[in-house]
Amino acid sequence: MRRLILAALPLTAGLALALPPQRADACQYANCQSEGAVTKPADFAFSLPFKSGEKVQVLSGYGPTNGSSLHCRAQDSSCANDWHALDLVLPDHANWGKGQPVVAAASGKVIAAGWGTSGWAAYGRRVYIEHDYKGDGHKYISMYAHLNSVSVSVGQQVAMGETIGALGGSCNEADSCANFSTPHLHFALHRDSNFGGSGSGGSYGGRATKPEPIDGYTDLTQGDQLISKNGDEEPPPPMECLPIPPEGATLEDDGPCITLGGKPENYGEIDGNGGHAFHTALDTPSPDYAEGGIWILTFEQAGTYELEVFIPSGLPNPAAQATYKIAYSGQATKEFVDHASALGTWASLGVYDFALGDGQWVRLGDNYELAGDNGKRIAIDALRVTPANACECADEGAIDTLPCGVNGEQTRVCDGCSWGPWSACDDASTTGDTSSGGSTSDGGTDGSAGTDGSATASTGGSGSGTGGTDGSSDGGTDGSAGSSGGATSLGSASATAGASGFDPDNDDAGCSCVAAERGPSPSALLVLLALVGVRRRRSSARN
């Protein structure tokens, strides 16, 4: 959302003849170094530094060729990184708004207020605010310079929209400045900068930070006219990132516990765990990074937890080595994951001892360690946190059951942490009837038929076997009962009436017997039919 100003800008507005503000040491780069700038996180509520409804004009935009030669440096370790600074005026007020209120762009704590001196004198009166936002694990400081007056003090907590000073044209400890003729606000945002240096000190090092989107505007350039929405309404509260319970949790890539940094246009989207995942290219040599995600970890209970990340199968051109940084219990370490080899799986980042509370995180950036990974892609998907060596069960002696067979069940017992092995299936429908017939003997103990069915009737024992009526049924001559005592066999060596193999699928004939070479005698057939009837009646009663 942009509107270009129609009136001509003051020609002298962007001229800047002073040296770039710096700490005591010389700048790291002799030229106007531009590499390494970053973009404000999209969920960082940040507004134009003027009262709601004010028309704001961009006098000088980003970089040294957009109105001010001092908008320079992006990642200099020894100087102010003001590449993405803006010079702002209020065109609806006399003298470009000199004396009009300047307000805090976001809530935070004042870390400096008053005149800049020594290497920082060119900023005139200025205010620095370290902001409350910590959603991506970085520190953000905003600067408001050339003020006509200052109305806050060091250590003061300010809210978004609270007045901190007035627009002016101060520099070099004077209310007017020979370096420029147009009163304006020099406004900048720095990430992870230091504060100090010569004289009064100032914000140096870290990264120049593009303060967009800001009140809905993006791609700001010299001449744009904007309307401030600072203090218009209370921004909606962000989704709450809940603490991780002792049993663990899965933090999705589109949930409240992760923040993506860098430019939105540098991310792609694919299917992943939970239906969604982001991906981006590795294009920054380690240790720096621009795009990437950071998962914020807050624990309800200190303990040892395993971390795993999901690598979606649809990741295009996957990298061989993605660099994860894990911060835990006051320590930090790196872990590398081969995304190309882990497609469609959960990849472990290891096991760590996490402390109670917050201040712990996992970060994945677009920095590459291997030259061959330059340009390849990494996935930013779900992070799974599980307690290490977690018990399967808690109550010693607890019994777990599982259905098996037709009507049976298996059981296992908890030893206080782990389940024991499953028991054999206790299913009456598959064990046969061993108590029917004239007695409770299973065919005698000293001459019972073996399982090969080769014994004759005379070796079936003297008791009344299962399925028999008096222990002396017609045994036939082609083999007698296997496990059913004195019951008549029709020559089958593997199945008898009432035996445990009584199953319609027991053999190709579809019954529990196989015809012998000789046909059955009439008495044998009657006994067989009687046995079948007894078995089925007992099965029916049991069911």
Digits of tens for pLDDT over the chain (543 positions)?
333 333 334 433 444 434 445 443 467 777 787 889 999 999 999 999 999 999 999 999 999 998 888 899 999 998 999 999 999 999 999 999 999 999 999 999 999 999 999 889 999 999 999 999 988 889 999 999 999 999 999 999 999 999 999 999 999 999 988 888 899 999 999 999 999 888 888 999 999 999 999 999 999 999 999 999 997 755 556 678 899 999 999 999 988 899 888 777 889 999 999 899 999 999 888 877 778 899 999 999 999 999 999 999 999 999 999 999 999 999 999 999 999 999 999 999 999 999 999 889 999 999 999 999 999 999 999 999 999 876 777 788 999 998 998 889 999 998 887 888 999 998 765 444 443 333 333 433 343 333 343 333 333 333 333 333 333 333 333 333 333 333 333 333 333 333 333 233 333 333 333 333 444 554 444 444 444 444 444 444 444
**In terms of C-beta density within 10 A (0-12 exposed, 13-18 middle, 19 or more buried), how is residue 331 classed?**
exposed
| Predicted pLDDT of residue 237 | 60
Task: Quick: pLDDT tens for 135-157.
Answer: 888 999 999 999 999 999 999 99
CA distance 404 to 122: 84
Pairing of strands 377-380, 277-281: antiparallel
Q: How far apart are the first and last CA of the chain?
A: 76
Amino acid at 378: I
**In terms of C-beta density within 10 A (0-12 exposed, 13-18 middle, 19 or more buried), how is residue 289 classed?**
buried
In 3D, which of 1, 3, 5, 2 has the Cα closest to residue 223? Answer: 5
Which domains are seen in the chain, by residue range? 38-227 (2.70.70.10), 249-387 (2.60.120.260), 399-429 (no CATH), 433-543 (no CATH)
Residues 6+ apart with CB under 8 A from 201: 23, 112, 120, 195
Do 32 and 251 touch, CB atoms closer than 8 A? no
The predicted model scores a pTM of: 0.45
CA distance 209 to 194: 14
Do 409 and 422 touch, CB atoms closer than 8 A? no
Residues 6+ apart with CB under 8 A from 78: 22, 23, 25, 26, 27, 28, 204, 205
Do 344 and 313 touch, CB atoms closer than 8 A? yes
CA distance 288 to 292: 11
Do 6 and 57 touch, CB atoms closer than 8 A? no
Q: Decide: helix, strand or coil at residue 216.
A: coil
